[in-house]
């Protein structure tokens, strides 16, 4: 295990971690690799080929735009959402990419230099893209194939046979674990909780106060995203004409606060609202935190907001513990299964987020180690087989509501686990293995291709 907190929770732009954040990072890394070879100044033009799921749902997920932004020298974590339209318009009008951070400018015709190979999939992973740069005589300067393997993680062709992830150097982490059993054994042996173990790992990378602030800053972006979603009205982009619902629900809930709070289940309305707000922001291309993906980005913030607003003993330390525990659970899925909808369907996105949130909420509500893994297991057990079939290739239907359902399911999994003594029939490791196997058995149509399920049974507009 070479993953830490910031591999799981990354600030990026919507609507998809694998189809937007990953390709944008790949395009940026491509330029960095050419810079290392000292050949940047030779670039006259760049061409990009998208394969498999990136080609099939890339238009709806904004993959082409993400590639252009990456080639313009922007990273998902640092681009301001309000800059995007101007950058893309300039490229379209001038047929050139002005990449200021790399001090280069090169030709790029959006119509012909980016190709969607909808019938071709590369063997290693369904989310594949190749980028090539050419000089003025059309000689190839550099070519690389990248795979966007979920949650914004990128590997290139040369890394397939290695353990390298996300083009990162191995990290010196204090504790290494590759299964839930190993994680629990480490916690028991050292008499620490999962969040304490994860925090010690963070302190292997950063000073203690910086590690703490990093985690809180991720929460701040999540919280800001909820807030933006609550106040942004209008129609989501992409052609489905989906109306943003969070602002009107928010108005209704706050207007009728007393009446609503007399309804014992009104808490569900608030949890639903938080999740809808984040995923509407994501669908609109706003700033979100991958948790563990963009499509499933609403579940963790919604359950954390539930903890903060409805759990009487909530605290700032609780936010940190929640996120660290959630990250540990995500690492188990990333290491042993997948967090890519294109690889294992939505069980790898919404299912994993639900499992993360259930385990994390259980931890901050005082659950034991075995209750935490029990909750994470329950949450995944009832997401097994969940397919990915976004209508029109857009991360809107069923994705937005699915986050609300995932958040509620996570809270329920916590409540079931906290009513028990932690003993459970199916272990977290077993359910992770089952999720992977179920994903393998799932037909291609249900893995982010928009060729099955809701995507074919409803008209696009």
**429 binding ligand SF4? (CB under 6 A):** no
Give the shortest CB-417-to-ligand SF4 separation in angstroms: 24
Listed residue (260, 367, 352) closest to 311, CA to CA: 367
Nearer to ligand SF4, 292 or 359 (CB): 292
Q: Is 15 helix (H, G, I), strand (E, B) or coil?
A: coil
Q: Smallest distance, Å, CB 183 to ligand SF4?
A: 25
Q: How many of the chain's residues bind ligand SF4 (CB under 6 A)?
A: 13
Output 211 or 395, the one with its CB closest to ligand SF4: 395
Instruction: Report the distance separating Cα 211 and Cα 199, nearest Å.
Output: 8
Point out which span in 85-93, 268-276, 345-353, 420-428 binds ligand SF4 (CB under 6 A): 345-353
Work out whether the CA dihedral 15, 17, 22, 25 comes out positive or negative.
positive
Which listed range, 26-34, 322-330, 341-349, 438-446, lies at the site for ligand SF4 (CB under 6 A)? 341-349
Task: List Cβ neighbours of 361 (8 Å cut-off, separation of 6 or more).
Answer: 303, 306, 307, 322, 375, 410, 411, 414
Question: Does residue 349 bind ligand SF4 (CB under 6 A)?
Answer: yes
Minimum distance between the CB of residue 57 and ligand SF4, rounded to whole angstroms?
A: 8
Instruction: Report d(CA 48, CA 129) in Å as an integer.
Output: 7
Closest contact distance (angstroms) between CB of 293 and ligand SF4 is: 6
CA distances from 116 to 129, 274, 306, 392 (A): 9, 35, 41, 15
Cα separation of 15 and 278, whole Å?
A: 11
- Selected from 202, 280, 381, 448, the binder of ligand SF4 by CB under 6 A is 448
Considering the rule CB under 6 A, would residue 351 count as an interface residue with ligand SF4? no
For 328-397, the DSSP string reads HHHHHHHHHS---HHHH-GGGTHHHHHHHHHHHHHHHTT--HHHHHHHHHHHHHTTTT--B--GGG-S-T
Question: Minimum distance between the CB of residue 100 and ligand SF4, rounded to whole angstroms?
Answer: 32
Q: Which is nearer to ligand SF4, 20 or 371 (CB)?
A: 20
Q: Does 296 bind ligand SF4 (CB under 6 A)?
A: yes
Q: How far is the CB of 321 from ligand SF4 (least distance, A)?
A: 26
For the purposes of burial, counting CB atoms within 10 Å of the CB of 187, is it exposed (0-12), middle (13-18) or buried (19 or more)?
buried
Shortest distance (Å) from residue 95 CB to ligand SF4: 31
Query: How many residues belong to the chain?
Result: 461
Instruction: Give, rounded to a whole angstrom, the gap between the first and last alpha carbons of the chain.
Output: 44
Residues 171-200 that bind ligand SF4 (CB under 6 A): none
Considering beta carbons, is residue 314 or 395 the nearer one to ligand SF4? 395
Shorter beta-carbon distance to ligand SF4: residue 25 or 402: 402
* Contact indicator for 147, 125 with CB cutoff of 8 Å: yes
Question: What does DSSP assign to residue 425?
Answer: S
Say which DSSP state 132 is in: E
* Nearest approach, Cβ of residue 454 and ligand SF4 (Å): 9
Q: Mind giving me the DSSP string for 293-317?
A: -STTTTHHHHHHHHHHHH-TT--HH
| 350 touches ligand SF4 (CB under 6 A) | yes
Q: Which of 411, 356, 366 is nearest to 5 (CA)?
A: 356
CA distance 294 to 60: 14
Binding segment for ligand SF4 (CB under 6 A), chosen from 66-74, 282-290, 343-351, 424-432, is 343-351
CB of 386 to ligand SF4, least distance (A): 7
Q: Is 352 in the site for ligand SF4 (CB under 6 A)?
A: no
Residue from 97, 180, 320, 346 in contact with ligand SF4 (CB under 6 A): 346
Distance from C-alpha of 199 to C-alpha of 5, rounded to nearest angstrom: 9
Is 446:440 a contact under the CB 8 Å cutoff? Answer: no
Kindly state the smallest distance separating residue 330's Cβ from ligand SF4, in Å. 15
Q: Which of 88, 405 has the CB closer to ligand SF4? A: 405
Among 292, 295, 298, 359, binds ligand SF4 (CB under 6 A): 295
**Minimum CB–partner distance for residue 28 and ligand SF4 (Å):** 23
Stretch that binds ligand SF4, among 80-88, 116-124, 328-336, 342-350 (CB under 6 A): 342-350
Q: Which residues within the stretch 355-414 sit at the binding site for ligand SF4 (CB under 6 A)? A: 388, 390, 395, 398-399, 402
The answer to whether 345 and 447 have CB atoms below 8 angstroms apart is: yes
Residue closer to ligand SF4, measured from CB, 34 or 350: 350
Q: How far apart are CA 150 and CA 130, in angstroms?
A: 17
Shortest separation between residue 306's beta carbon and ligand SF4, angstroms: 20
Q: Is 404 or 417 the residue whose CB approaches ligand SF4 more closely?
A: 404
- Per CB under 6 A, residues contacting ligand SF4 are 295-296, 341, 346, 349-350, 388, 390, 395, 398-399, 402, 448
């Amino acid at each position: 295990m070479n993953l830490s907190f910031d591999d799981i929770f990354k600030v990026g732009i919507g609507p998809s971690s694998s189809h937007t954040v990953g390709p944008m990072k790949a395009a940026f890394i491509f330029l960095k690799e050419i810079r290392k070879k000292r050949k940047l100044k030779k670039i006259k033009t760049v061409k990009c080929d998208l394969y498999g799921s990136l080609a099939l749902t890339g238009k709806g997920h904004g993959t082409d735009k993400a590639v252009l932004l990456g080639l313009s020298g922007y990273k998902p974590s640092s681009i301001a959402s309000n800059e995007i339209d101007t950058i893309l318009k300039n490229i379209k009008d001038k047929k050139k990419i002005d990449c200021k951070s790399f001090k280069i400018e090169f030709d790029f015709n959006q119509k012909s230099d980016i190709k969607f190979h909808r019938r071709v999939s590369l063997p290693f992973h369904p989310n594949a893209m190749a980028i090539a740069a050419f000089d003025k005589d059309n000689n190839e300067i550099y070519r690389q194939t990248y795979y966007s393997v979920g949650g914004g993680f990128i590997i290139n062709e040369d890394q397939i046979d290695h353990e390298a992830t996300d083009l990162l150097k191995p990290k010196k982490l204090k504790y290494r674990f590759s299964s839930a059993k190993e994680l629990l054994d480490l916690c028991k042996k050292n008499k620490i909780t999962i969040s304490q173990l994860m925090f010690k790992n963070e302190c292997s990378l950063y000073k203690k106060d910086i590690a703490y602030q990093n985690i809180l800053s991720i929460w701040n972006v999540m919280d800001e995203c909820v807030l933006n979603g609550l106040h942004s009205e209008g129609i989501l982009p992409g052609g489905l004409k989906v109306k943003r619902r969070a602002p009107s629900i928010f108005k209704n809930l706050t207007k009728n606060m007393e009446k609503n709070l007399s309804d014992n289940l009104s808490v569900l309305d608030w949890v639903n609202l938080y999740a809808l707000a984040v995923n509407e922001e994501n669908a609109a291309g706003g700033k979100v935190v991958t948790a563990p993906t963009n499509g499933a980005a609403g579940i963790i913030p919604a359950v954390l907001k539930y903890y903060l607003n409805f759990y009487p003993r909530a605290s700032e330390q609780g936010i940190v513990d929640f996120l660290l525990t959630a990250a540990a659970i995500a690492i188990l899925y990333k290491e042993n299964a997948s967090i890519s909808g294109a690889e294992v369907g939505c069980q790898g996105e919404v299912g994993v987020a639900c499992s993360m949130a259930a385990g994390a909420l259980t931890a901050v509500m005082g659950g034991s180690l075995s209750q935490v893994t029990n909750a994470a297991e329950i949450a995944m057990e009832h997401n097994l087989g969940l397919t990915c079939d976004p209508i029109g290739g857009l991360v809107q239907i069923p994705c937005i509501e699915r986050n609300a359902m995932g958040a509620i399911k996570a809270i329920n999994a916590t409540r079931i686990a906290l009513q028990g003594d932690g003993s459970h029939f199916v272990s977290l490791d077993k359910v992770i293995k089952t999720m992977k196997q179920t994903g393998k058995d799932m037909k291609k149509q249900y893995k982010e291709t928009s060729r099955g399920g809701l995507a074919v049974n409803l008209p696009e507009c």
